[in-house]
Structure 1
């Protein structure tokens, strides 16, 4: 299919407003959906260890562990994070995976290709079978920093997002050792290594996720500003990326505002099904150069403050985002109200998580789900969507961490629980993504020894 016909087909296929989504579990909660049944400990097919608790019939294999070797001979870094799966040859999947490495620790892989040879983040590209057996693997972007999440693009590329504004112009940690400014988007093609050219017009702020709208060509961006308000952005490139074959620099960055309400605070608890009309305000200086080496806490707010001065809305830690049939689902990790008897989490925002839906063609923003308490949903982070429209939420909570499903009717269920790792209480799920045909759910374990995991089983038995 040529690119113009592809765009037209997407526009024609958009469903009605929030098709199939009902906000039925926002305040008091409802009985959990049945999902796939009770969870039980299951052994990893790689080494026999129990890492996951899954429903009956599901199996998994871990692979590409931090410290292992890529098939090109170099060493796999840690901090596995956001990820997308693309169709590969003979039923395989090509995974592009972020590494959220911070600090001036030096680039992994070939330093001559690094954006900043002192920065330790980037991406891996891994071809795997649907059962998690590695066919080939190598670094594909290096010399970036804090590559948290991003998003798959329709022209077979991954946009990797830096969740930082570190650089030699910012006074923090060992920033003086860095050679380049950070806080940008980078494009990583499926079939070749990245050029390591930042998309500067898409902003220098703590990016989290990128969700592409093929009907308009806009890339929707979330901001995860841990200690301060966060915003929801869109980048309007100078040419439709499908027609250009890549994401071009030189476009316009905008930030979402609630129509008729200056600086609407959407980080607080919301009424079930709360819906808002929206508008967009321009960011005049999306790529600030800092003079005098300001403190990081000042630099990290530079772009967001521009939008809020023009009335942009406030969210609490926007993290995962995914586009599905004309709607962008975005996760506010600490949005909502503190449940009675629970303490508010550290950082900006008092709740245990919200899921919002932004309808790209009408501009409506709707609350899909707000966690009533941590035992139901605890600090959701990355998100993906199944072929049936059920969301998969990766938790980053204080206790046990789960992969939870959120159905099109607003019911939530437990699909997978992480086996606690002694001495690594901060371990969490990240980067969930379904492989070709929906046969395998690939997910990352961000831990002291990070790894990727392939999960498969009787999907037809439940809502995925």
Structure 2
């Protein structure tokens, strides 16, 4: 999206596309709608295998899977995650995609350009057609770790987020291996230009914590950030750079990090169940030490809370696992993966938070926080993760649940529907959707599947027939 369109979108319709949900206020939103119709096993145009279940009329092609090669011949790493689409020449699309690789497994791509040559995460940049045919592909940020999600920036860049605080100064996490082998501290955000290769310089003032997503507000220049702590409370942050990024042409370090709080309710616990449409007035508290340095290698569980505890000590609100975030028409929509009440018959998912998911809306122009949707049961919505917005203003939610994972739509009226179901991945029951993003013009929905044979997917069809 170019700068002029991005700014116009930011000020259009100050009520926001989900304002009607506040009036409806019904538990779990409205009755589910049919969306695009029943889901049927659909063959992948790449090789004829069934990987997705889609409504009639929709097609897809998978591409750039784990173990494939980039254009330079180097292998494609695993753990495909957050992603954004940018316009390319002659009706093509540039995709910038995260790889959520943990541990001191060595950098992919050119190790001389890696932030930490021992870390295996980062980003890849691909040029593809609207039907998922790969024209070129390359590593674009390497040597980072657990790059989970992030967000697109209107100056033709992607911000990639590390969901960890691993480093040689921190004790090992439960899945990452020996942190003493790492050469750099992790837990930062990095800017990745669509053209060229990232500088691999972290924006340290934006915090060292378990970053998940980033959503940019062009009106104020603030970058809104989510935090995903599995076992501990999470927070909603904003980073105020020293100069407006649309004037600087990039995201500058040296700004101020803040954490959201509810007015009159210090340390408000918003992770529990509540009625959709519930609205709060908010304020922001400063984080005095956004980039903590540790001595004595404290336990990983202590280090990952160092920034959030500062905010909560000043009254910041508590959420359960904040993951995907997207900016649309002056509002940041963000997902609390395990927020909400536990429905009868559902089992708490483990970790912090007992619900099956919430969707929140923060109005950047008014400071109001509103609960848009809370899952009434896992069959309606099961642990939402990444989120994007369709050309019509419908949210597209990626599930990371315990059963068959879906792409689900959440309409402006609070109605939720199934659009796509992931076929069972043999030997990988934990396979999930991630990185959903519409290409320019809305012709194609690109999405990743994170699994042992994860890949990217291009989906297209009769969008005009339903809410997307």
The two structures have a TM-score, normalised by structure 1, of 0.98
| Corresponding residue for residue 15 of structure 1 | 13
Kept in 2, the 8 Å contact 1:21–1:410? The answer is: no
> CA offsets, 1:55-75, max 9 Å, x none?
000000000011111112111
Kept in 2, the 8 Å contact 1:94–1:127? The answer is: yes
Kept in 1, the 8 Å contact 2:6–2:154? The answer is: no
SS, match of residue 341 in structure 2: coil
CA shift, 1:450, in A, is 1.0
Structure 1 unmatched runs, 5+: none
> CA offsets, 1:406-459, max 9 Å, x none?
001110000000001121100000000000100000000000111000000000
CA shift, 1:9, in A, is 4.0
Are positions 1:463 and 2:467 aligned together? yes
Match of 1:362 among 350, 362, 366: 366
Question: Structure 1 residues 246 and 149, CA, compared in 2 at 3 Å: closer, same or farther?
Answer: same
Counterpart CA distance in 2 for 1:8 and 1:188 is 21
Question: Structure 1 residues 462 and 240, CA, compared in 2 at 3 Å: closer, same or farther?
Answer: same
SS, match of residue 298 in structure 1: helix
> CA offsets, 1:254-308, max 9 Å, x none?
0000001010000000122100000000000000000111000000000000000
| Corresponding residue for residue 112 of structure 1 | 112
Counterpart CA distance in 2 for 1:340 and 1:28 is 14
| Corresponding residue for residue 231 of structure 1 | 235
| Corresponding residue for residue 410 of structure 2 | 406
CA shift, 1:212, in A, is 0.2
CA shift, 1:20, in A, is 4.3
| Corresponding residue for residue 164 of structure 2 | 164
Question: Structure 1 residues 119 and 323, CA, compared in 2 at 3 Å: closer, same or farther?
Answer: same
Kept in 2, the 8 Å contact 1:256–1:280? The answer is: yes
| Corresponding residue for residue 320 of structure 1 | 324
Counterpart CA distance in 2 for 1:439 and 1:272 is 32
Counterpart CA distance in 1 for 2:135 and 2:2 is 30
| Corresponding residue for residue 74 of structure 2 | 74
| Corresponding residue for residue 350 of structure 2 | 346
CA shift, 1:41, in A, is 0.3
Are positions 1:423 and 2:421 aligned together? no
Residues 279-298 of structure 1 aligned to structure 2 (within 5 Å): 279-298=283-302
Counterpart CA distance in 2 for 1:29 and 1:257 is 25
Match of 1:310 among 314, 332, 335: 314
Counterpart CA distance in 1 for 2:347 and 2:122 is 35
Kept in 2, the 8 Å contact 1:431–1:444? The answer is: yes
Counterpart CA distance in 1 for 2:413 and 2:84 is 25
Instruction: Tell me how large the CA RMSD over aligned residues is.
Output: 1.4
CA shift, 1:14, in A, is 2.8
Question: Structure 1 residues 25 and 351, CA, compared in 2 at 3 Å: closer, same or farther?
Answer: farther
SS, match of residue 392 in structure 2: coil
| Corresponding residue for residue 129 of structure 1 | 129
Residues 24-43 of structure 1 aligned to structure 2 (within 5 Å): 24=24, 26-27=26-27, 30-43=30-43
| Corresponding residue for residue 147 of structure 1 | 147
SS, match of residue 20 in structure 2: coil
Residues 194-205 of structure 1 aligned to structure 2 (within 5 Å): 194-205=198-209
Counterpart CA distance in 2 for 1:2 and 1:376 is 36
Question: Structure 1 residues 110 and 264, CA, compared in 2 at 3 Å: closer, same or farther?
Answer: same
Counterpart CA distance in 2 for 1:191 and 1:94 is 9
| Corresponding residue for residue 263 of structure 1 | 267
Kept in 1, the 8 Å contact 2:130–2:458? The answer is: yes
Question: Structure 1 residues 57 and 110, CA, compared in 2 at 3 Å: closer, same or farther?
Answer: same
Question: Structure 1 residues 29 and 408, CA, compared in 2 at 3 Å: closer, same or farther?
Answer: closer
Counterpart CA distance in 2 for 1:28 and 1:115 is 43
Point out the more displaced range, 65-74 or 177-186: 65-74
Residues 155-194 of structure 1 aligned to structure 2 (within 5 Å): 155-172=155-172, 173-194=177-198
Q: How many residues align?
A: 462
Structure 2 unmatched runs, 5+: none
Counterpart CA distance in 2 for 1:292 and 1:243 is 42
CA shift, 1:17, in A, is 2.3
Counterpart CA distance in 1 for 2:382 and 2:276 is 18
SS, match of residue 312 in structure 2: helix
Match of 1:438 among 427, 442, 460: 442
CA shift, 1:30, in A, is 3.5
SS, match of residue 441 in structure 2: helix
The two structures have a TM-score, normalised by structure 2, of 0.97
Are positions 1:378 and 2:382 aligned together? yes
CA shift, 1:234, in A, is 0.1
